[in-house]
C-alpha cells in the first residue's frame, strides 16, 4: 500500500502512518491520497488512538508533494472539463483530507521527518503539533517559483506557527532551508540522528497518549480556537473548554492516583 496505517504493539494508543513510495520521492499520487485520507478518518474516529505519528519510507524524502506525473496532469484535465479515470477522480476528491487541509484530525500528530519535506509534504507537516527531523532534512515551499499559489496549509498556518519574517522567507523566496535552520526558527522541535528519529517521535507520542484523553483533546482544540480570538473572548472560551473537565471521571481518577501513588487509569470520560 502506498500509505499504510499501523498500530505498533509496544505503543498501544499510538497509530503510525507511513507514506511508502520511496522510489517516487514519497510523492502523492491518487492511490496514496485515497489511503492517506482513509488513515486520517480511521484515526479521527477511533478513541483508542490518542496520538498519531507520520513519517516517510526510505532515508531521502519525507514527502515531495503531489506526484507530477499522475496527480497534477489529472487535476489539469479535470480543470479543463475533461473526463478522468474514476480512481484519479477519487484521489483528487481526497486531496483536502489527505493533506489535513480544513480537516480536523481531532488527535495530536507527531511528524518524524526522515528527509526532504516539500510542497504537500510541507503542508502535511504544518498540521502536526510536534516535529522531529533528521539532520539531512530540508524544507521548502516552491509554489511561487512554479507560478502557483500554495493552496494547502502554508499561507493559513505557517505565519501562525513561526515568525512573520521567517514565514515570508519560505513562502516568497521558494528557497529550501536545512534542518538546523528549521530548528532555529521554531519549525521543528528537535533534530536527531537518523537511528533515533522514529524512537524519538514514538516517545513523544507515548507521552501525549499517556495523559488524560479528554484533557489532551480539549487542550489541543483550545490552542487552535484561542489563537485567533481577542483576549477577552479567549479568556471566556478557555473557561468554557476547561470547566467541564473538572467534573470528569478522569479528573477524579487523577486525584485518587496521586493519593495512592500509582499511575492513573484513564477512561476518557
**CATH number where 15 lies:** 3.90.226.10
> Could you tell me if 217 and 199 lie in one domain?
no
Q: Are residues 203 and 242 in the same domain?
A: no
- The CATH number for 225's domain is 1.10.12
What integer pLDDT is reported at residue 267 of this predicted model? 84
pLDDT at residue 250, as a whole number: 86
C-alpha radius of gyration, the chain, whole number: 20
> Do residues 238 and 226 touch, judged by C-beta distance below 8 A?
yes
CB 110 within 8 A of CB 205: yes
Provide the residue range defining the domain that includes 234. Answer: 213-260
> Does residue 25 sit within a domain?
yes
Specify the pLDDT at position 138: 98
Statement to judge: residues 55 and 175 lie in one domain:
yes
Does 17 lie in the same domain as 29?
A: yes
> Nearest-CA neighbor of 54 among 64, 63, 45, 46?
63
d(CA 98, CA 256): 41
Q: For residue 78, what pLDDT is reported?
A: 65
112 within domain boundaries: yes
pLDDT at 50: 97
Give the pLDDT of residue 22.
Answer: 96
195 and 218 in a single domain? The answer is no
User: Is residue 100 domain-shared with residue 32, that is, in the same domain?
Assistant: yes
Q: Of 208, 214, 221, 206, whose CA–CA distance to 252 is shortest?
A: 214
Divide the 269 residues of the chain into consecutive groups of 10 and give the mean pLDDT of each group: 94 97 95 95 96 97 90 74 74 87 94 96 97 98 91 93 97 97 98 98 97 94 91 92 89 84 85
Give the residue carrying C-alpha cell 484513564.
Answer: 266
Both 190 and 238 in one domain: the answer is no
The answer to whether residues 197 and 75 belong to one domain is yes
- Residue 125 inside a domain? The answer is yes
Domain match, 110 and 227 both: no
Count of structural domains, the chain: 2
Of 205, 268, 263, 264, give the one whose Cα is nearest residue 10: 205
What pLDDT, on the 0 to 100 scale, is given for residue 216?
95
Q: What is the pTM of this model?
A: 0.92
Q: Does residue 172 form part of some domain?
A: yes
User: What region, left, alpha or beta, does residue 174 occupy, with left being phi > 0 and alpha being psi -120 to 50 degrees?
Assistant: left
Amino acid at each position: 500500500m502506498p500509505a499504510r496505517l499501523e498500530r505498533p504493539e509496544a505503543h498501544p494508543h499510538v497509530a503510525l502512518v507511513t507514506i511508502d513510495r520511496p522510489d517516487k520521492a514519497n510523492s502523492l499520487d491518487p492511490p496514496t491520497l485515497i489511503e492517506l485520507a482513509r488513515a486520517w478518518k480511521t484515526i479521527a474516529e477511533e478513541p483508542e488512538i490518542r496520538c498519531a505519528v507520520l513519517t516517510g519510507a526510505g532515508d531521502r524524502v519525507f514527502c515531495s508533494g503531489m506526484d507530477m506525473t499522475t496527480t497534477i496532469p489529472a487535476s489539469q484535465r479535470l480543470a479543463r472539463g475533461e473526463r478522468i479515470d474514476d480512481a484519479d477522480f477519487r484521489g483528487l476528491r481526497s486531496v483536502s483530507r489527505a493533506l489535513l487541509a480544513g480537516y480536523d484530525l481531532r488527535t495530536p500528530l507527531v511528524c518524524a521527518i526522515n528527509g526532504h519535506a516539500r510542497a504537500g509534504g510541507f503542508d502535511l507537516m504544518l498540521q502536526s503539533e510536534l516535529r522531529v527531523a533528521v539532520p539531512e532534512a530540508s524544507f521548502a515551499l516552491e509554489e511561487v517559483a512554479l507560478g502557483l499559489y500554495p493552496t494547502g496549509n502554508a499561507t493559513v498556518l505557517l505565519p501562525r506557527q513561526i515568525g512573520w519574517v521567517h514565514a515570508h522567507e519560505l513562502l516568497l523566496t521558494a528557497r529550501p532551508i536545512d534542518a538546523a535552520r528549521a530548528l532555529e526558527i521554531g519549525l521543528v522541535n528537535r533534530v536527531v540522528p537518523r537511528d533515533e528519529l522514529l524512537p524519538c517521535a514514538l516517545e513523544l507520542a507515548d507521552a501525549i497518549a499517556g495523559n488524560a484523553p479528554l484533557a489532551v483533546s480539549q487542550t489541543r482544540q483550545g490552542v487552535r480556537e484561542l489563537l485567533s480570538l481577542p483576549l477577552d473572548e479567549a479568556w471566556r472560551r478557555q473557561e468554557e473548554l476547561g470547566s467541564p473537565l473538572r467534573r470528569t471521571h478522569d479528573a477524579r481518577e487523577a486525584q485518587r492516583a496521586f493519593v495512592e501513588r500509582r499511575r492513573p487509569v484513564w477512561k476518557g470520560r
